[in-house]
Chains A and B, each alone.
Chain A
Amino acid sequence: MRYIEPHAHMVSRVTDDYTAMVTAGCRAVCEPAFWAGFDRSSAQGFHDYFCQLTDYEPRRAAQFGLPHYSWLCLNPKEAENLPLADEVLAMIPSFLDRPNVLGIGEIGLNKNSRNEVAIFERHVDLAVRHGQMILVHTPHLEDKWKGTRLIVDMLKQNRGIDPARVIIDHVEEHTVDVVLEAGFWAGITLYPQSKCTPSRAIDMVEIYGSQHIWLNCACDWGQSDPLAVPKTALEMKRRGHSESAIDRLIYGNPLQFLSQNLKFRLDEIAWEDKRDATQK
């Protein structure tokens, strides 16, 4: 089995998780910027975090032979602090040229507030101005349906957006069709309690097809499983899905989406680059 983990918050995981993921067949991991579990007190905190995502964490992953990529933003949970958001948004462009940065993310909404909407739109404008791909977080639980519709409407209204370069993550049964029918990619997040279980994820793939869908574990400091994607692959096998269909969903699909950014490489050259980085 081989797979790409397209959404994992590795800064909050132990190194044993890297070992387990690589052992299970992980070929690359992508890490969107997210909320630390507490509000950062200054833009300098974000500067240090972006350095961690673009410098330290890729070197830590490289010790396990795993290419590490990142997405940058201010999380919607911190969007109520508008002066802080201003400073962070101004800082992001200086990191976009770093070799492992794939785009802007995970931007989105949390409680669907006016400030969250405003900061989301500014992130989208920033991505369009700099030709960046976008990874979108949709709200949790009771806020997801409303937030997903708001997000899709805002993205559709922006003429600079190419839906094929945007993935809208954390879809469930009531939002997956909203995302796919608008032409965006859809991410299904596998969590032990909230979001989606492996069996429900496979249901959605069976109903809507696997085109433009990826699976991710979104493991972080909460209840989550860094091996959720390969475990879901085993569940697909149990249901009778073919090896090629499984490979397409957990490896081919994220590869297709992420390769739109030419920085995303899984070849030997990429591995050599990472190994060089560890020796600096």
Chain B
Amino acid sequence: MIRLTGVSYTYPGQGQPALDGLDLEISRGEFLVIMGRNGSGKSTLARLLNGLLTPTKGIVTVEGMDTARRQNLLKIQQRVGMVLSEPDSQFVSNLVEEEVAFGPENLGLSSNQIQARVKEALALVHMEDYAEHPPFSLSGGQKQKVCIASLLAMQPAYMILDEPFSMLDAGDRKALVDILRHLQQERNLTIVLVTHEVENIPAADNIVVLDAGKLVFRDQVGQLPADEETWVNWGLRPPPLLGLARAFYERTGQKFPLHLSPEEMASLLCK
């Protein structure tokens, strides 16, 4: 579990805190989506979860380890992996295989262990055939897969992804979300997806919404507000069928199941 207690963070030289008095718990094995407009503090929160930033107030613990203590850092960074939005800015190598090996090398593992992990990680993202390609020649979706594999090779328990799909098209996004869900289910990996794109909501178990550095929502997907005004106030695109969901609720008193496929929704509505 990652736990934040009374966490605030103010960037050096700024007057206002980017995050203000946050209390949050992230459990093992959950798929959490953290939403908010640009500037709401999402990226700051992401970087607090793996110790890249340490809180100016309050405390962040990863499985009991305080992120502010230097001696915990290596262990925390192994447990909590992070993928950023620009793959080109994360690559250290000109060969996919060596890129993925970078993390395990930092952990001081043996050659055999590193090679085994690289192979396994690439297989998990279906990129085994690209082991000897240079990352810069890959497509956007493939690059992100390599970034994910680079983290998987460290065998983390938690994976934080900060706007990983912002430059990708819907097809790539879907493929990557499927991989993440699979990892969550097969390996009990905790996925924390930081994004402002509401299309990612159906994949999640729980949602957190940040607004101006404060936590304004923390609950299951099914409990998300059904009125558009709240979404617009949060600076988020109201999910596409929200109006429909509200009308359905008003008419039938039941929540409209937004996670169904369009076919299933259509047959439900026609009854």
Q: Do A and B bind each other?
A: no
